[in-house]
Amino acid sequence: MAAPVHIPTPDSNAATSTVYHASPPLGLVAIIFTVLFGAGLSFVISFGTGQPNFPGPWESADTIVTYFQTHSWPVLKCAFFQFGAAIALGEFAISTMSRLLFLG
């Protein structure tokens, strides 16, 4: 639920006038982004020594190609969750901008 914003009109009592901004709670959208971003990384990052890590840009081309050929399913799951996180981040940015314009 959005927090109430008190905007007085010229001919009314300021204590009785309440206007609500119609956007999702920013905290909830930020939590959704964080969960989706972390879930996407969990498929391609290993903290143990047994599994290979996602290759960095400094790796050789053969290492990168081999990783993507042998680990295509985890990379696709990572891309799916990262795309969802990008949508949540866009919603957060748009809602924040809209609230700033609404508040003046």
Per-residue pLDDT at 16: 59
pLDDT tens digits along 6-18: 665 565 555 556 7
Kindly list the distances between the CA atom of residue 20 and the CA atoms of 3, 11, 15, in Å, as whole numbers in the listed order: 7, 19, 14
Residue 63: count of CB within 10 angstroms of its CB: 13
CA-based nearest residue to 20, from 5, 42, 40: 5
pLDDT in tens, the chain (104 residues): 566 666 655 655 555 567 777 788 889 999 999 999 999 998 888 776 667 788 889 999 999 999 999 989 999 999 999 999 999 999 999 999 998 888 87
Retrieve residue 21's tokens: 């901004």
